[in-house]
Structure 1
Amino acid sequence: MAENLNDLDRLRPVDPTALAEATEALHQRERSWQFRELRTRTQLTQAEIAERMHVGQNRVLQIEPGGVEHARSETLRTYAEALGGELNVEIKAENHSYHVA
């Protein structure tokens, strides 16, 4: 039986690949939650956002629960504008930031 955290680490080492996958899944869930949170703060329904985006409600439903990762930047821009906001895209590399959209 493990007596401390070091003992536990030796008995059950962390798989770096599994940890990376779990971390990415958590980040995806967080981004999805943020999209829903933005929409609910504006007191808009998915149907109202869809109408403003000129798409079906099903498209909004695809974006909010995790489809953000696979959405085109144009779709995300339209979603942001439907909320009364704007989309900003930034690339960060080598301690520099580049605003691209």
Structure 2
Amino acid sequence: MTPLPDLHRRRPGNRENIDRIKAGMYSDAKAYRLRTLREESGLTQESLAKKIGVGQNRISQIEHGHLTSARVSTVQKYVAALGGSLELTVKRADGSTVTLPAEEDLEDLADSK
């Protein structure tokens, strides 16, 4: 079996095309996770949509990989309706990360003072 780096040297692909395909795969993986969480919660797309005040088509779009075009507030409501909270992680150019706390975590912090 040929190691992947050797294959890349023999058949260099268009880097932009590879990155586009990779981004699509990541988007699909995130969408699949969200759909799985919804299904595990026993909600249909329609019932979740009503619960968070959006159309069923918006839930479908999110679950089919169009997560980047969704508002953060919509994704936050989506996750909250499933009993979770949304955290955002910023990845810096040097590879370090900073996690932005969920809104309810900030409220808990303010209440504890």
1:47 shift after superposition? 1.0
Alignment TM-score, normalising by the size of structure 2: 0.73
Equivalent residue number for residue 55 of structure 1: 54
Aligned Cα RMSD in Å?
2.1
CA distance in structure 1 between the aligned counterparts of 2:46 and 2:7, rounded to whole angstroms: 53
Q: Which amino acid in 1 is paired with 2:49?
A: A
1:1-101 residue pairs with structure 2 within 5 A?
6=6, 9-10=9-10, 12-93=11-92, 94=94, 95-99=96-100, 101=102
1:13 shift after superposition? 2.3
1:8 shift after superposition? 8.3
Which is bigger in relative contact order (C-alpha 8 A, separation at least 6)? 1
**Unaligned segments of structure 1, at least 5 residues:** none
Q: Deviations over 1:76-100 (max 9, x none)?
A: 1111111111111121213241415
1:14 shift after superposition? 2.2
**Unaligned segments of structure 2, at least 5 residues:** 103-113
Aligned residues: 97
Alignment TM-score, normalising by the size of structure 1: 0.81
